[in-house]
Amino acid sequence: MTTNLLVLGIESSCDETGVALVEARGPGVPRLCAHALHSQIEMHQAYGGVVPELASRDHIRRVLPLTQKVLDESGRALTEVDVVAYTRGPGLAGALLVGAGVACALGAALGKPVLGVHHLEGHLLSPFLSLDPPQFPFVALLVSGGHTQLMRVDGVGRYELLGESIDDAAGEAFDKSAKLMGLGYPGGPALSRLAEQGHAAAFKLPRPLLHSGNLDFSFAGLKTAVMVQAKKLGDQLEARKADLAASTEAAIVEVLVKKSLAALKQTGLRRLVVAGGVGANRSLRLQLNAACAAVGVRVHYPELHLCTDNGAMIALAAAMRLQAGQQTASEVYAFDVKPRWPLDSLSRNS
């Protein structure tokens, strides 16, 4: 593909409405023209977690104003858009349907093709929008709210699952531990902030599957250990919260770092890409950087503001798929969503 492509991307899989315009000029790394985001965190906070029906309704309210904002900021007209991309899955069914429906309606109105994108592929490719984009092949550590996976990535759509969480994801471990400590939702950033004032060695918490000999993860037991520790502390929990937060973060980070290094060793690859919301964690970044530098491995992250859900990664993934030769069926506006959708199944289908 050598032509220029302007891709509008819409993300609505969970509690963030994201819209972005990405431009691909020939085969070069696509460029972000503008992106806009509305986080529903405040709305869901009262309930301690995401309420799916409220999420869907809010996506409906936000998506078109955000689209207009992105067009205004980039100085582009809707009619200039060549392809409309949306998150097809995984995620909340109702929330996904909003993005899919709006994308198809826009595509039909403009007479332009639409492309459904895998949310995790968006996360995984998001470091390509950074100032220091990676090159294939690499090992990817995908750490989002719902997924913890290690992947071998040989190119766009060429994903081999090396290991994943057999129960809770790392993001869930952060969120659930934070909830136990009364830190609200989403707990990851709050727990991480509190951890900076505590001692990581204060409590001995398990490092699940650290020596399992494979690349799988398990974080459910860690959450239970945090709960037991919190109960034991009783009245003293408040005073020791920062220490418990630091110990919890240290346990999660150690497992993620060691398993990532094991994946690099197993594949023989010299490049690591970290993506997904937990990739914003400061301690994880510091420790991964140090561990990888020690063995001569380059680590790539998305820009901090593109770690969590956003429309830019969806537009980017679509643009990179089109650059890699993916065809879009024009004037086919029947859509479906895939609330459950394994990322490595893309390698089998595409």
Q: Which of the listed partners (Zn ion, ligand KG4, none) does 188 bind, with a CB threshold of 5 to 8 Å by partner kind?
A: ligand KG4
Nearer to ligand KG4, 23 or 121 (CB): 121
User: Which residues would be at the binding site for ligand KG4 (CB under 6 A)?
Assistant: 14, 123, 144-146, 171, 174-175, 186-189, 192, 276-278, 280-281, 308-309
**Which of residues 144, 177, 218, 229 is near Zn ion by CB under 5 A?**
144
Q: Give the nearest distance from C-beta 15 to Zn ion in angstroms.
A: 10
Q: Give the nearest distance from C-beta 169 to ligand KG4 in angstroms.
A: 7
CA distance 77 to 18: 18
Q: Give the nearest distance from C-beta 198 to Zn ion in angstroms.
A: 27
Stretch of residues binding Zn ion (CB under 5 A), selected from 188-196, 209-217, 242-250, 302-310 = 302-310
Q: Which of the listed partners (Zn ion, ligand KG4, none) does 335 bind, with a CB threshold of 5 to 8 Å by partner kind?
A: none
Q: Give the nearest distance from C-beta 28 to ligand KG4 in angstroms.
A: 26
Residue type, 35: H
| Position 172 contacts Zn ion (CB under 5 A) | no
Nearer to Zn ion, 92 or 262 (CB): 92
> Which tokens in the block code for residue 14?
């969970």
Taking each helix axis as running N to C, give the angle between helix 282-294 and helix 187-195, from 0 to 180 degrees, rounded to the nearest 10. Answer: 70
DSSP 8-state code for residue 165: B
Q: What percent of the chain is helix, strand and coil (3-state, nearest 5)? A: 45, 20, 35
From start to end of the chain, where are the E strands?
4-11, 16-25, 31-39, 83-89, 114-118, 138-143, 148-155, 158-164, 271-275, 298-300
Q: Which of the listed partners (ligand KG4, Zn ion, none) does 127 bind, with a CB threshold of 5 to 8 Å by partner kind?
A: none
| Position 15 contacts Zn ion (CB under 5 A) | no
**Chain centre distance of CA 227:** 26
Q: Give the nearest distance from C-beta 14 to ligand KG4 in angstroms.
A: 6
- Own/partner contacts of 292-295, CB < 8 Å, gap of 24 or more, are 292/260, 292/261, 292/264, 295/261, 295/264
CA distance 337 to 100: 7
Stretch of residues binding Zn ion (CB under 5 A), selected from 106-114, 136-144, 261-269, 337-345 = 136-144
